[in-house]
Amino acid sequence: MRLGAAVSLLKPRRAGLRLARLALLALLGLALLLGAGVALRLVWPGPGEKSLGTGADTGIGAGLPRLQALLAPNASGRTGDVADAERPVRVLFYGQSITRQNWWPGVARHLQERYPHRRFEFSNLAIGGHDASRLVRLVAADVLPLQPDLVIFHAYGPPADLRRTLEHIRAGTVAEVLMSTDHLVADDELDEEARPLWLVESGLLRRWGQRLGLLSEASTWQAWRNHEELPRVATDLGIAVADVREAWRRELRASGTSATELLADSIHLNARGEALMQRLMIEAIDRQLAVRRTHSAAAAKVDEPLRHELQLGPDCLQPLKISGYRLDAAATPTAGGVAVGLQVDGERAPRWPQLMQATRPSVLPGTEFPGLLQVGLLSQAPGSATAGSYRVRVGPRDAQGGHALSLARDGDAATVTGHTSADVVWEAAGLRLQARDWNLAYAQSAYPKLDFTGSDIRFELTPTPDPVTLRPDGPVTLLRWPVNGPRSVCLRTDGPVIALQVIEYRAPLAP
């Protein structure tokens, strides 16, 4: 046989071998997928099996040990936790439109009635239509100034932004967080199965998993979010979980009710849904407060405040080295009305931009949407930002859907112009209003018939007070930074030397 003929005979054989190898690799891959599916069957719960929600009877997550101490009948500021009994317990409801619905007032009433010996302050700053991708930029103006003791939280949105929103709260307050899982919005969620992200996100794997019986039709992003992502975030950040989703599922199964019978539309609650949400949240809070976790790893994240005994006079008698984020002066019955001057790292406190507080910018007319999500600063150097009341005038909408803008400060003749497509920078005032933070296009998409031309977006930039006047009947905050950090603080008075107890708070999450 000639050489050419032999080679021509070998080519098909080699091609066949290559195809056989590819087929073998495909079979091995399928076997691995099947094996992973079987393994996941053993690890991840299927319909009716044990899931996150079955732990709801004993409370889920880190618990609320700090709030337990605050609400104890003998709480007097010496419980190893927070300030004097005269200071109210601050509870903030935060998130989206679900949190704004008419279930939260009943939760507030329940807490006040159950703990009549404590005074409460309740706030609800939830904002409809703003998921975690927007809340993450509002949280510094909304949550940090309130310094709540408990944040009751629920929001949808990208997982990374949800995590960052909660990180801001945990890094800039001593608040405990009770995060709610999602209520059910469709009957096929009654039998959802929890699956890890790599199976849920991949359409190809999901389709093959369904064909092979490894995944049900109800294996969706919401299943992964509620069964895997939210519990992981709670564990990582040391927060508590109200597993509304599992309790909602049990209620629907027990009553034979359709999920849609509790909804006013595709997601919002009707009166029956609000009543159920109120009851489930009350039960979740009561369970969390009934469980003692003083020796748990989660409780270890709650740093007790440090109390410093100082002598104050005209000079800096005792420089104070701190690592926390907030300093309070305890109640001073013998020194009420005394003014205390503040100096941080050699500079007067009001000169530090980090100690300035920007308010949430005002809403656009006819909406509940702020026109700007956050106020940015050019620098953190002392004296680089100018306090005041600011106004952004919105110009006509152009063909691209953007707006011309003009930025001014009350009492200042200067004006800076710009456009929503770019950052608006005012060098002299130390401000940078970033293009990504303008909320006009989003508001226009939600309210297409409105015209925002000529409207004003207002915000305040307020320095920390200096001096601070002490109170005889309760604590007063002297300084508050956005995060923990090493700092040197000097406190002075112009009068005679006085003794003062200063309380240093450390946020549970380091920046």
What is the pLDDT averaged over residues 43-68? 52
Check pLDDT > 60 for residue 7. no
What is the pLDDT averaged over residues 92-104? 98
The band of 98, judged by pLDDT with boundaries at 50, 70 and 90, is very high
The answer to whether residues 108 and 120 touch, using CB atoms and an 8 Å cutoff, is: yes
What is the pLDDT averaged over residues 318-330? 93
The answer to whether residues 330 and 358 touch, using CB atoms and an 8 Å cutoff, is: no
Chain-centroid distance of CA 53 in Å reads 22
Q: How far apart are CA 256 and CA 323, in angstroms?
A: 55
Q: Classify strands 306-312 and 320-322 as parallel, antiparallel or unpaired.
A: unpaired
Nearest alpha carbon to residue 174 among 290, 76, 292, 83: 83
The β-bridge partners of 284 are none
Range with lowest mean pLDDT among 14-18, 167-171, 418-422: 14-18
> What was the pLDDT predicted at 36?
47
DSSP reduced 3-state for 104: helix
Tell me the CA distances in angstroms from 414 to 269, 380, 409, 428, one per residue in order. 48, 23, 8, 10
Strand order in the sheet with 431-433: 376-377, 431-433, 424-426
The band of 353, judged by pLDDT with boundaries at 50, 70 and 90, is very high
Enumerate the CATH 2.60.120.260 domain ranges in the chain, comma separated.
304-352+465-505
Q: Which CATH superfamily is domain 304-352+465-505 in?
A: Galactose-binding domain-like (2.60.120.260)
What whole-number percentage of the chain has pLDDT above 70? Answer: 77
Check pLDDT > 70 for residue 11. no
DSSP reduced 3-state for 432: strand
pLDDT of 265-292, one tens digit each?
A: 999 999 999 999 999 999 999 999 987 6
Say which amino acid occupies 228.
E
> What was the pLDDT predicted at 193?
57
Q: How far apart are CA 404 and CA 393, in angstroms?
A: 8
Q: Helix crossing, 132-142 with 159-172: angle to 10°?
A: 10
* More confident site: 203 or 461: 461
* More confident site: 380 or 59: 380
Which range has highest mean pLDDT (4-18, 365-379, 468-482)? 365-379
Q: How far apart are CA 289 and CA 390, in angstroms?
A: 43
Chain-centroid distance of CA 121 in Å reads 19
Enumerate the CATH 3.40.50.1110 domain ranges in the chain, comma separated.
52-299
Check pLDDT > 60 for residue 78. no
Range with lowest mean pLDDT among 48-57, 98-107, 201-210, 472-481: 48-57
Q: How far apart are CA 95 and CA 105, in angstroms?
A: 15
Check pLDDT > 80 for residue 217. no
Termini Cα distance of the chain: 78
> What was the pLDDT predicted at 153?
98
> What was the pLDDT predicted at 221?
75
Query: What is the residue-averaged pLDDT of the chain?
Result: 84
Say which amino acid occupies 488.
S
The β-bridge partners of 409 are 390
Nearest alpha carbon to residue 509 among 485, 477, 480: 485
Fold observed for domain 52-299: Rossmann fold (3.40.50)
Nearest alpha carbon to residue 328 among 305, 350, 311: 305
Assigned token pair, 17: 């071998």
pLDDT of 125-150, one tens digit each?
A: 999 999 999 999 999 999 999 999 99
Q: How far apart are CA 128 and CA 100, in angstroms?
A: 8
The band of 26, judged by pLDDT with boundaries at 50, 70 and 90, is low
> What was the pLDDT predicted at 474?
80
> What was the pLDDT predicted at 144?
97
Range with lowest mean pLDDT among 56-70, 282-296, 303-317, 395-409: 56-70
